[in-house]
Homo-oligomer: A and B are copies of this chain.
Amino acid sequence: MATKLIYFFGNGSAEGKSAMKDLLGGKGANLAEMTNLGVPVPPGFTISTEVCKSFYENNRNYPEELEGQIKTNLKKLEQIMGKKLGDAKDPLLVSVRSGAAVSMPGMMDTILNLGMNDKAVIGLAEVTQNERFAWDAYRRFIQMFGNVAMGLDINVFENILADMKKSKKVELDTDLDAGDLQQLVDKYKKAYKAKLKKAFPQDPIEQLHAAIDAVFGSWNNEKAIKYRKLNNITGLLGTAVNVQSMVFGNFGDDSGTGVCFSRDPSTGKKVFYGEFLMNAQGEDVVAGIRTPETITSLKKKNAKAYKQLVEIKDKLENHYHDMQDMEFTIQQGELFILQTRNGKRTGPAALKCAVDMVKEKLITKEEAIFRVTPGQLDQLFHPMINPKTKSSLNVIAKGLNASPGAAAGQIVFTAEDAEDWAKDGKKVLLVRQETSPEDIGGMDAAQGILTSTGGMTSHAAVVARGMGTPCVAGCKEVVVSGKSMKVGAKKYKEGDLITIDGTTGEVFEGEVELINPVVTRDLATFLGWADEIRHKAVRDGIKGKGFFVRTNADQPADAKVARNFGAEGIGLCRTEHMFFDAGKLEIFQEMIVANDLDARKKALKKLLPLQKKDFKGIFKAMNGLPVTVRLLDPPLHEFIPKTNAEIKELAGKLGIKPADLKKKAESLHELNPMLGHRGCRLGITYPEIYDMQVEAIMTAACEIAKAKGKVEPEIMIPLVGTKKELELLRKNAEGVIKQVFKKKGMKVKYKIGTMIEIPRAALTAETIAEEADFFSFGTNDLTQMTFGYSRDDIGSFIGDYLDQNVLERDPFQTLDTVGVGSLVDMAVKKGRSVKENMKMGICGEHGGDPDSIKFCYKTGLNYVSCSPYRVPIARLAAAQSVLEDSGK
């Protein structure tokens, strides 16, 4: 039996179903599912993604059986429709659309009205009794086919159309009559032949094959590849091709087309939400050229269709257990559903949908956990404009609130500029009349996006929401021309500062103060479920040693914020950050420039009470949760100024000669400070510094405990590469602690552990473990040394590396599980071979990255630690990790 390459749907039954997304793509699988559900879907068939895979694997050749199967399915379609492709009397027209297993909106090709030719146009005009419609469909097809399938510049046709309108002195396409359009078809065909050196094909089968070629070919076009990369879409076979009988929303005023959602994709509220345009084809809505009407106004125009649509959206949401994004067309009053899929949504909407649907018993809590991506949750923490200052701000324009969050930046007018400026470290806002898929890179680089045309489902709006980038769309007051824009009489040029609020659609002049949003009750509910799942798994012994979310915090205030976000401890308190406060920095500098041990000790003695106070504040804020304090890590020269003026100033303060200070600074200079005299190396060469820090930590802990407070200090020694380092420094610390306990007449439980951040530490972890009560993986440094990449200098080549797929992800954002991860895994195993229950965690920035968190859980770490604002994201990712790992 020949391999089945094509799946038919129509007449109330389909060969495919929703579960076959990998094979039929999302669109094809859902068309089949809807057909089986009795939803009115125009019949058609889906060519599977395996054909696409085979196409690329076989040097762009199709499987032998394909042509025959197309023939068979087309015949079936013609039978059901009672029409024939290219028929001179009642022609069948079809659309040819892409559709991969993961939605890639606008990235791949679509061809509509296929089957039109010189004969069919006559037949269509007759059977529809609408000559204008027939000629318009023909001219649209030639344009689309020429552009999409044959690669002609769209302006070849647009210019002819513009000339025609000019000569007819009309403004809109709809003002052209049938005769005009017939002339246009003639001109289009001539232009087609002139450019391509062959006539526009009259054979519909030839048209169909060319269209299928174009769709499969578009799988690997530049923008599709870039989109998959930006969205980390991997592992797909390719796109499917859907050949479906056409229905027309541009049949006249009783026809129309639209997009609707079963809930509001922006807020998640359970309201029917959508837009439509009467007398238009689907592309008109998506392209954002005309501004559409809201879905509720359809009720007035066609009550029956509206009622049917409401029933269908309820049916589909109940069936799919998720919010649906549907495309529909009304042809001469009759409703057709062209597509349904789980709707893309903003972070707040995802959260609200998930929480509401659990309450509605539509989904379980476990399912809800996967309904919000960590990225979407992150959107909840995007900056917003300070409400207090907002009333006094000058709103210069208002558009659609297309993607929530506020953003401020310098305006640029091309995607290229956005990328270039962002590379230079500038914050930019991308301003466009409308965006197109080619702009993806620039949209990603921008803080926010502002467009002057297009609706809530326009390209800019959809993509921005997906990216979590604030966007104001369809802001008509903004008139873009070249590299400047006018709002009213005022002109803004490239580089001027603008702020947008994607939650309200407002546009402000200048850079406005932004603040972070407050946490809603839904968030607490949702994260409560996440924690419940995470801790229950641990209680049930799925992983024996717990999986906690801690935070990186260096100040009592940060610690408080993090606890409010649900942090279950501090995984990294960087003591040196405490030195940067005015007052402390100077004393620390005095210590650095000291010429002998006595002078150093004198300065450290001054620092001691100040550090102790900080530690007490942090311990209090954490109220008995574990607090890992890292002893001094950066090289000393980081604390000494570089410029002559600064040196002079500091020398004055310290009462030494500027020349001497300069000499000291020079003596501290390092060629590769990342690999220099830092971390525990300072502890070995200047034991008095660590002694002071340990004394401050433990004195603070004793004083808290004495006042009946709870405290769980963990002293962490950084940058250990040999067992001996930890052995020496542990011995020193224990000596100091003994003295503190004696002085305070009491004891407090504590741990002394180390960071595993040097490859050698991971490689020899079984020896280091002998001296350590815990391991904390410092994956920032570990990534730097394992790859040999300086994070500060990677900018000059990381772009090329990502573009050329040398790296799939930036290893500083997402942990490289293959290389760096193998060291982590090795260290966990080696460490636990010595101390079976050793507590291990991660305190690199990967601790807030969802994919890295999953790795950490799998590898058996006991906690992740991340910045306060990432704590909720980590709680969600951790719950997802637990569920995924348990196979749920």
A750-791 Cβ-contact flags toward B at 8 Å (1 or 0):
000000011110011000000000000000010011111110
Name the interface residues of A818-874: CB closer than 8 Å to any CB of B.
818-820, 822-823
In the assembled complex, how far is the CB of residue A358 from the closest CB belonging to chain B, in whole angstroms? 43
- Complex interface: chain B residues within 8 A of A180 (CB): none
Given A758-B787, A760-B787, A788-B719, A793:B725 Cβ within 8 A: no
A191 CA to B818 CA, complexed, in Å: 74
Contact B763 A786 (CB under 8 A): yes
Q: Which candidate, A401-409, A738-746, A801-809, is the interface stretch facing chain B?
A: A801-809
Contact A790:B760 (CB < 8 A) given known A728-B804, A806-B728:
no
Across-interface contacts of A758 in B (CB, < 8 A): 786-788
**Neighbouring B residues of A97 by C-beta, 8 Å:** none
Are A671 and B797 in contact, CB atoms less than 8 angstroms apart? no
Asked if B722 contacts A790 (CB within 8 A), the reply is: no
- Give the residues in chain B near A764, CB-CB below 8 Å: 818-819, 822
Closest chain B residue to A806 by CB distance?
A: B724
A684 at the interface (CB under 8 A from B): yes
Does A681 make an interface contact (CB < 8 A)? yes
List residues of A (666-718) whose CB comes within 8 Å of B's CBs: 670-677, 681, 684-685
Q: A788-B781, A806-B684 are in contact. Are A820 and B760 (CB under 8 A)?
A: yes
Checking B676, B787, B806, B823 against A796 with a beta-carbon cut-off of 8 angstroms, the contacting residue is B676
- Beyond A800-B684, A804-B728, is A793–B677 a contact (Cβ under 8 Å)? yes
A677 to B800, CA, bound (A): 12
A681 to B800, CA, bound (A): 9
**Considering the chains assembled together, what is the distance between the CA atoms of A818 and B677 in angstroms?**
22
Question: With an 8 A cutoff between CB atoms, is A721 at the interface?
Answer: yes
- Residues of chain B within 8 A (CB-CB) of A823 are 759, 763
Q: Does A67 contact B (CB under 8 A)?
A: no
Chain B residues with CB below 8 A from A677, complex form? 793, 796-797
- Are A675 and B789 in touch, CB under 8 angstroms? yes
* B759 lies within 8 A of A793 (CB): no
Task: Report Cα–Cα, A719/B801, bound state, in Å.
Answer: 14
Give the residues in chain B near A787, CB-CB below 8 Å. Answer: 721, 758, 760
Chain copies in complex = 2
Q: Which of B675, B724, B785, B790 is within 8 Å of A805, CB to CB?
A: B724
Q: What B residues does A673 contact at CB under 8 A?
A: 671-672, 790, 793
Give the residue among A728, A790, A807 with the most B Cβ atoms within 10 A.
A790
- A222 part of interface (Cβ distance < 8 Å): no
In the complex, whether A792 has a CB less than 8 A from a CB of chain B is: yes
Q: Are B759 and A786 in contact (CB under 8 A)?
A: yes
Inside 8 A of A816's CB, which chain B residues have their CB?
760
Min CB distance, A665 to chain B, in Å? 14
**Interface-centre pick from A728, A764, A788, A818 (highest chain B CB count, 10 A):** A788
* Bound complex: CA A758 to CA B784 (Å): 10
Across the interface, do A681 and B804 meet the contact criterion of CB distance under 8 Å? no
Residue in A675, A676, A724 with the greatest tally of chain B CB atoms within 10 Å:
A675
A849 to B586, CA, bound (A): 46
Residues of the B chain whose Cβ atoms lie less than 8 Å from the Cβ of A788? 674-675, 719, 721, 757-760, 781, 785
Cβ contacts under 8 Å, A807 to chain B: 722, 724
Partner of A819, one of B670, B725, B760, B796: B760
Given contacts A721-B788, A724-B806, contact A796 B760 (CB under 8 A): no
Cα A684 to Cα B671 with chains together (Å):
25
Report the separation of the CA atoms of residues A239 and B232 in the bound assembly, to the nearest whole angstrom.
Answer: 67
- Complex: A684 Cα to B676 Cα, angstroms: 28
- Flag if B797 contacts A725 (CB, 8 Å): no
Bound Cα distance A417, B800 (Å): 52
Contacts of A725 in B (CB 8 A): 806
Contact A685 B797 (CB under 8 A): yes
Q: Smallest distance from the beta carbon of A829 to chain B beta carbons, Å?
A: 14
Instruction: Report the separation of the CA atoms of residues A194 and B303 in the bound assembly, to the nearest whole angstrom.
Output: 121
Q: A672-B674, A758-B787, A758-B788 are in contact. List 15 more A-B contacts (CB 8 A).
A: A670-B790, A670-B793, A671-B792, A672-B675, A675-B790, A675-B793, A677-B796, A677-B797, A721-B787, A724-B807, A725-B806, A757-B788, A759-B819, A763-B818, A785-B785
A residues contacting B by CB (< 8 A) are 670-677, 681, 684-685, 719, 721-722, 724-725, 728, 757-760, 763-764, 781, 784-790, 792-793, 796-797, 800-801, 804-807, 816, 818-820, 822-823
5 A-B pairs within 8 Å (CB atoms) are namely: A672-B792, A685-B797, A719-B788, A764-B818, A785-B785
List of 9 A-B pairs having minimum Cβ-Cβ separation, nearest first:
A675-B790, A672-B790, A760-B819, A676-B793, A671-B792, A670-B793, A759-B759, A758-B788, A677-B796
